[in-house]
DNA sequence: GACGCTGAGACACTTTCCGTCTTATTGTCT
DNA sequence: AGACAATAAGACGGAAAGTGTCTCAGCGTC
């Protein structure tokens, strides 16, 4: 990724934060990035759609990169999963950009977190998290596990439950120990015995 | 002012806060107000310009109404003026709407505080503040005083000075006692003796 | 000097927005 | 019930803004 591309994506993000996707024009982004429209179209052929898509991809990459950094030192599977969902949930809650988008354009943003965007999110989560999980499960199981957890994190983020708070380590640990680990870890000798 | 007019002006303000004037359309305002475009044009014939103008007028009215409420119990002229400039300055600084506008549309907003809008501001200040000042000065002097103070408050708000902080009561009192009162109150027996 | 990258801007096309208008509906008053 | 005022919905043409492509000129590097 060239510095110019990065500048443009940063500008896109800034514009979206300020005005919401619906109000942002290509000229806005170009001006914010200090770049001509021609350059922008050269770097992102396809224009607006491609540009905003690239922005979303980069946001996901950033999100999971940051998430990955919080996973070091998690030895057993339970600890790994707990850290993952807790940090992911807290990061989502702390994301002011996301909050602004949800407030100003609920429809588009929700779509990006569910119907339209969820496959992409799951794919990215798989890419980043499955390697960590594979230390404890085979690839197939790891993929299914990450798929499931990603959906759960998003669901509990969008609509909090009185029973589970995935932003709280204790609650997340109980939840994972009770509903997740037993189904993915047929051998009960390690952590399945909990609860 | 009918309730519908108020709803529309509230909606206008809300839209401006969210997107900045440049990005707001009449449809946005109508939708936000839960009113059809036809109704909006009936209430504000002339459309966008008239609508935004009405919003600015109402903001000024609100501003000075609130300011007026903080002036009760100021007996002597010095106290009255100090309270006025201190509250006005603090209100300007605390106005998140204004801050957002200054950030997103510096040109328009500054124009509204200086070249374009200042006459209106002075007129409104005169309307609200002069009656209070007239208890201590004749109408002519009161008008000139309010005109002067309004300009000073705005100037020191836009470009703070190391010498004067009109948001601080002590500093404001010194400033007014030193530079304002002597020129408007030739009789030095009451407060002019200070400093 | 050839090369690649960029900014500026012309261009045709599309979309959005504006302001005005008509029509149907609703609720109110007599 | 019927007259009436106010409104929502939306059609309409013209104006404005935005889009995506293109050309060309400038500028630094090799």
Query: How far apart, in whole angstroms, are the C-alpha atoms of residue A32 and residue A26?
Result: 10
Q: Is the dihedral of CA A150, A155, A161, A167 positive or negative?
A: positive
Residues of A with CB under 8 A from a CB of B: 18-20, 23, 104
Q: Are B111 and B120 in contact (CB under 8 A)?
A: no
Which of the four pLDDT bands, split at 50, 70 and 90, describes residue B186? low
Those residues with Cβ within 8 angstroms of residue B48's Cβ, 6 or more apart along the chain or in another chain: B26
Angle, helices B96-104/B106-113, rounded to nearest 10 degrees: 120
For residue range B147-168, what is the model confidence (pLDDT) as tens digits? Answer: 999 999 999 999 999 999 999 9
Q: How far is CA B141 from CA A8, B71, B183, in A?
A: 56, 19, 10
For residue range A134-173, what is the model confidence (pLDDT) as tens digits? Answer: 889 888 999 999 999 999 999 999 999 999 999 999 999 9
Those residues with Cβ within 8 angstroms of residue B134's Cβ, 6 or more apart along the chain or in another chain: B142
Q: What is the dihedral of CA B181, B182, B187, B191, to 10 degrees?
A: 50
B28 → chain A, closest CA residue = A23
For residue range A60-109, what is the model confidence (pLDDT) as tens digits? Answer: 999 999 998 888 888 889 999 999 999 999 999 998 888 888 877 788 88
The percentage of residues in chain B with a pLDDT greater than 70, rounded to a whole number, is: 94
Distance from CA of A77 to the nearest CA of B (A): 44
| Block residue for tokens 């009449």 | B26
Residues of B with CB under 8 A from a CB of A: 18-20, 23, 104
Nearest to residue A81, comparing CAs of A20, A142, A40?
A142
| Block residue for tokens 């021609």 | A38
Q: How far is CA A184 from CA A78, A123, A127, A133, A174, in A?
A: 11, 20, 19, 11, 15
pLDDT > 60? residue A191: no
Give me the residues near strand D, CB below 7 A.
A 25-27, 37-38, 41, 45-49; B 2, 4, 34-39, 42
């Amino acid at each position: 990724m060239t510095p110019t591309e990065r500048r443009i994506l940063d500008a896109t993000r800034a514009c979206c934060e300020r005005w919401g996707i619906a109000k942002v024009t290509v000229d806005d982004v170009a001006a914010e990035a200090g770049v001509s429209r021609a350059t922008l179209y050269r770097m992102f052929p396809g224009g607006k759609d491609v540009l905003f898509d690239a922005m979303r991809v980069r946001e996901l990459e950033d999100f999971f990169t940051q998430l990955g950094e919080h996973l070091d030192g998690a030895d057993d599977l339970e600890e790994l999963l707990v850290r993952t969902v807790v940090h992911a949930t807290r990061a989502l809650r702390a994301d002011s950009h996301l909050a602004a988008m949800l407030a100003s354009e609920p429809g588009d943003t929700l779509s990006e977190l569910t119907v339209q965007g969820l496959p992409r999110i799951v794919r990215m989560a798989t890419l980043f998290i499955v390697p960590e999980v594979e230390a404890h499960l085979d690839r197939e199981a790891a993929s299914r596990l990450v798929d499931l957890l990603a959906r759960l994190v998003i669901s509990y983020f969008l609509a909090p439950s009185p029973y589970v708070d995935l932003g709280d380590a204790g609650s997340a640990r109980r939840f994972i120990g009770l509903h997740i680990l037993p189904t993915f870890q047929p051998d009960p000798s390690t952590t399945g015995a909990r609860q």
